[in-house]
Structure 1
Amino acid sequence: MASSIYRCTECQTDLNLSTAHLFPPDFYFEAGNKGTLSFSWVDSSKFRFEEEDKIRPFFETVNYWGIQRKRTKIKCSSCGRLVGYVYDDGPPLTTSTGQFNMGPSQVIPRAPRYRFKTKALQITS
């Protein structure tokens, strides 16, 4: 399969995103995310990251809601356009069953997930 090239729609800069790091569309956190693509790794030299604190409900796992979510804005380093967010809700970094064997929770460190808005990306194959 040919690899796609992902560019910023604003300034046409190649964002160096790789389909090899793309999460599958049926992955657990992609269920409600229409119009977005999530990557497990990005070339940080292509982006500026800005911290953001939001208090609002979100799905932490399929059966569990969380309230406070820290997320980081991802902006194109060339033009400054907001292209997505970094979330800390990727796959758990441990195989632990969690506190009281009730499954993974906020206390278990999770891999970062780089979620991009498809309308902020120009995708060419």
Structure 2
Amino acid sequence: MKKLISALCVVMMVFTLVGCGQQEQEEVVELTDAEKFAQENGISVELAQDIENALSQTDAPPSLNILNEWKQIDDYAEGQRYTGNIYSNAQNRYYYMVFYVKDDKVESIRDQQNGLEFLYQRAD
């Protein structure tokens, strides 16, 4: 009887040790810059991707990682307006921008410090 109890104890210990080492590992999914920006700022991924695309067509650095103080301001007749700023090491200046958005597409980006001059305008 003692041998049977000992054998059962050994079997239970083996199952316990084997079971402890085999926990399911969660799959780590790396988010793109656009996905992170969208998540952090409560906007759609499509809009974040379009912001990144529009910035790449300006003199401002195109990285969403350095787009600071993103916030929605008053709507305009055709959609929404957002502001944000980026510092450019290459040009040694800040870009304070207004983004005009319609249907999750950036229609234009204007420079707040230079009389709202266009930095980007969607070509349709």
Report if TM-score (shorter chain) is over 0.5. Answer: no
**Where is the strand percentage greater, Structure 1 or Structure 2?**
1
Q: TM-score, normalised by structure 1?
A: 0.29
Q: TM-score, normalised by structure 2?
A: 0.29
**Where is the helix percentage greater, Structure 1 or Structure 2?**
2
Q: Which has the higher contact order (CA 8 A, sep 6+)?
A: 1
